[in-house]
Structure 1
Amino acid sequence: MSFRDEVEDGRGDLRKPFLHTGSWYRMGSRQSSIMGSSQVIRDSSISVLACVLIVALGPIQFGFTSGYSSPTQSALSKDLDLTVSQFSLFGSLSNVGAMVGAIASGQIAEYIGRKGSLMIAAIPNIIGWLAISFARDFSFLYMGRLLEGFGVGIISYTVPVYIAEIAPQNLRGGLGSANQLSVTIGIMLAYLLGLFCSWRVLAVLGILPCLILIPGLFFIPESPRWLAKMGMMDDFEASLQVLRGFDTDITLEVNEIKRSVASTSRRTTIRFADLKVRRYWLPLMIGIGLLVLQQLAGTNGVIFYSTTIFESAGISSSNAATVGVGAIQVFATAVSTWLVDRTGRRILLIVSSFGMALSLLVVAIAFFLKGFVAEDSSLYGIFGILSVVGVVCMIVSFSLGMGPIPWLIMSEILPPKIKGLAGSVATLANWFSSWLITMTAPLLLAWSSGGTFSLYTVVCIFTVAFVAIWVPETKGKTLEEIQHSFR
């Protein structure tokens, strides 16, 4: 009996996808010659790439939210008469909202599907930006920032999971890394547009990614693995066929996914007790560990307060330097996207963490030595330049591995049965760590710039050991093969 028959008989308790497009794709597969429409999606990489380009609007929104506070601090504080503490609270509230969104993200994505989850995430983002753009006091600012953070928390989990579940194994690394590439593009756009636009106009521009994302979701298929898990086998096969191309034989992949979901409970409500199963401990520890270490290395503290760091290093045009760092980050993340399916995940993580450790050590030494020389000496200027070079090298190293790959590995290794709850826990841990670093970075930098970067160096050295000992290589493996390796 089919899934729909079960529903009609009152015996099916599973949910239909929030955005249902299965019938449209089945019709397309039968009538692929009409107007030549299927020619565009006969090549699997083109079809999957189109899906990734649409959902990547979510991470662009993520990055734009993260980067918004940097170029708007002075003008926004002046117009609304905000104190430093009030603006600091405004900046950090996106992390608080993201933690709430992270808690809900996994269950929402399991309950109504990946596309429905992104639709839910887009709405509070739009409302949040409108609240900020029309704000007359700090209350609307805070409400808008919390709503943005909530949407971003859902996006940060759902997008990498969706990409991992639709991508063929030979492209999954590069396409998965496009998630972080989009985040860096969003940050750079916020920095760049912030040079020319007022903070209200910049907030209005922040609406655009989600305004384009919402209609775009109606033209891409739901995750075939989620459809299979929910028992919607007709829609599952139709979705997989359009992703791989109508001329592609998907029999082997269909059978592999069916075998994988056969032993997985279809229920969408997962309990914390499910996380206590011994065979889930290792993938859960790796997923949470990488996402926490990604933040504890201090990268967000460096990015968010790069203007202050450049000023303390003696760089006069600090805002332009910040935009330059954003552009460098985009370029380095693009290189990682190209490398990840060629070199593998582990080697990039190790090289990235080691490069970050060396770069941060250089910055720490430069700031320490600046305290022993006169400000008008040539050595003081040299140490300032050295610290800026170290910061730039750290950003490059981070973008090559520790930026994109932890999200990719999380989406690959978490077992389907616990992916919703475990993904929420991992995403929550990441956002809590991000909030902790963002809040403490100004205090630590005020205490001792050299000491702060020394602490971050120690975290990076620990990360190298963590990756070398615990993180498996997932390059070239299907998601089902990865799950089998943990058994």
Structure 2
Amino acid sequence: MCLCLGNVIIGYSLCWSVPVIPKLIDPAQTPLDEALTVDQCSWLAAIFHLGVITGSQTGAFLSNIVGRKPTLILFGALCLSSHIIRVSARNFTTLFVGRIINGLGAGGISSGNLVYIGEIASSDLRGIILTATGVLHTLGSLLVFSVGPYVSYAVVEYTVIALGTVHAAALFFIVESPVYHVIRGNEDAARNTLHFLGRSKDVDKELKTMIENVKQRNIQYTQLNSKHRLLKCTWFDIFRRRRNRRALMITATLLTIQEGSGIICIMSFATTIFRKAASSVNANVATIALGVTQVFGILLAPLLVERYGRKSLLIFSTAACAFWAALLGADFYLELINHPLLSSIRWIPLATLISFLICYNAVKYSFKFLINIY
């Protein structure tokens, strides 16, 4: 529960630009000294993801050095500080810096939560809890979609500051991961943590499994000068072995398709898209409908995967995403040339984006299964 609030904040931060950008462009609503341009708002939406990339890698590195708990506290504090910077911002530069720090914090929390939950949860609950983090992520997006359009910029920020304060304080009450204790060679501490987590019946078995997994994941035997030494795996090992290169090619292709689908653009500019497309549904209401669809889609995806299989669903859903994106593009083109047909199909933007999100969640869930296999 302490960790999952972080996923709500990540979802909130990811879609922060959706209700906020219209306020920043509008001279009557902006809290800044002057309204922002479209290009500046695009940078605010994009730079967050650069921070996420950096934060996730930095968090993974720090978690093995200082521990999972201190790393999560650090990135939780970064997220909280970013919201405080943003609410006090009076110019684009300050807002830009706050957005970068927000991305760093969100990236560290995202990767840290997955690792920590995977290491403290028992095997029969691990899958359910990890799935729940995705649901809470979409609930965070739904929260900012629902609140953001109807309150001031300051209230949007104060809402996430309140969530961030509770999250940062709650992280002090979690225990260090037993796997980290094993990595540091402190098996007694790992044993005590397992007892604390209520897994006393299988402590010896769990501890043995953790020790074996740590060895398999972080250490390999390499022959050097006819002597056997223990070396930590590096990024170069991905390219040295043929099977690793194949797995990298497959997963990189899948993830490129997933991220290249335009999902980040859609979720960052949903309200703007509906306004530009002249949808028959109010732009704010349509955006909330997208948030609800996201929650529904992430709950539906596991059922579809189990029923139709990973590969088949992946092919169908990817093709469907392309179709719905093309249909939305056609609607924009009709708007551009002011075609008379447009007046009778004002419902197209909302319908296409809802369909796109449902298919995208199926794609995303299929990717997770296939990437784990490869």
- Bin of the TM-score, shorter chain as denominator length: 0.7 to 0.9
Cα gap change, 1:173 to 1:149, in 2 (>3 Å): same
1:67 aligns with 2:15: yes
Matched AA of 1:62: I
| Counterpart for residue 227 of structure 1 | 181
CA contact (8 A) 1:362 1:386 kept: no
| Counterpart for residue 385 of structure 1 | 347
Cα gap change, 1:318 to 1:370, in 2 (>3 Å): closer
CA distance in 2, matches of 1:208, 1:352: 39
Residue identity over aligned pairs, in percent, reads 25
Moved more, 367-376 or 273-282: 367-376
1:259 aligns with 2:212: yes
CA distance in 2, matches of 1:405, 1:242: 35
CA contact (8 A) 1:105 1:117 kept: yes
Unaligned 5+ residue runs, structure 2? 221-229
CA contact (8 A) 2:317 2:363 kept: no
- Shift in Å at residue 282 of structure 1? 5.3
- Shift in Å at residue 261 of structure 1? 2.8
Cα gap change, 1:183 to 1:307, in 2 (>3 Å): same
TM-score for the superposition, normalised by structure 2: 0.82
CA distance in 2, matches of 1:353, 1:60: 30
TM-score for the superposition, normalised by structure 1: 0.64
| Counterpart for residue 122 of structure 2 | 168
Aligned match for 1:343, one of 283, 306, 315: 306
CA distance in 2, matches of 1:330, 1:314: 22
Cα gap change, 1:367 to 1:140, in 2 (>3 Å): closer
CA contact (8 A) 1:349 1:401 kept: no
Cα gap change, 1:139 to 1:367, in 2 (>3 Å): closer
| Counterpart for residue 397 of structure 1 | 359
CA contact (8 A) 1:101 1:150 kept: yes
Matched AA of 2:204: T
CA distance in 2, matches of 1:221, 1:286: 37
Cα gap change, 1:168 to 1:350, in 2 (>3 Å): farther
CA distance in 2, matches of 1:299, 1:131: 27
| Counterpart for residue 96 of structure 2 | 142
| Counterpart for residue 266 of structure 2 | 302
Aligned match for 1:159, one of 98, 113, 133: 113
Cα gap change, 1:321 to 1:396, in 2 (>3 Å): same
1:129 aligns with 2:83: yes
Aligned match for 1:182, one of 106, 116, 136: 136
Matched AA of 1:76: L
Matched AA of 2:330: F
| Counterpart for residue 90 of structure 1 | 44
- Shift in Å at residue 121 of structure 1? 0.5
Task: Count matched residues.
Answer: 355
More RCO (CA 8 Å, sep 6+): 1
CA distance in 2, matches of 1:261, 1:96: 30
Cα gap change, 1:372 to 1:305, in 2 (>3 Å): closer
CA distance in 2, matches of 1:353, 1:299: 17
- Shift in Å at residue 315 of structure 1? 2.7
- Shift in Å at residue 122 of structure 1? 1.1
Alignment root-mean-square deviation, CA: 3.2
CA contact (8 A) 1:367 1:383 kept: no
- Shift in Å at residue 68 of structure 1? 1.2
1:319 aligns with 2:284: yes
Matched AA of 1:397: C
In the TM superposition, what are the counterparts of 1:12-23 in structure 2 within 5 Å? none
Matched AA of 2:211: K
CA distance in 1, matches of 2:39, 2:333: 28
1:330 aligns with 2:295: yes
- Shift in Å at residue 220 of structure 1? 2.7
- Aligned-partner SS, 1:183: helix
- Aligned-partner SS, 1:105: helix
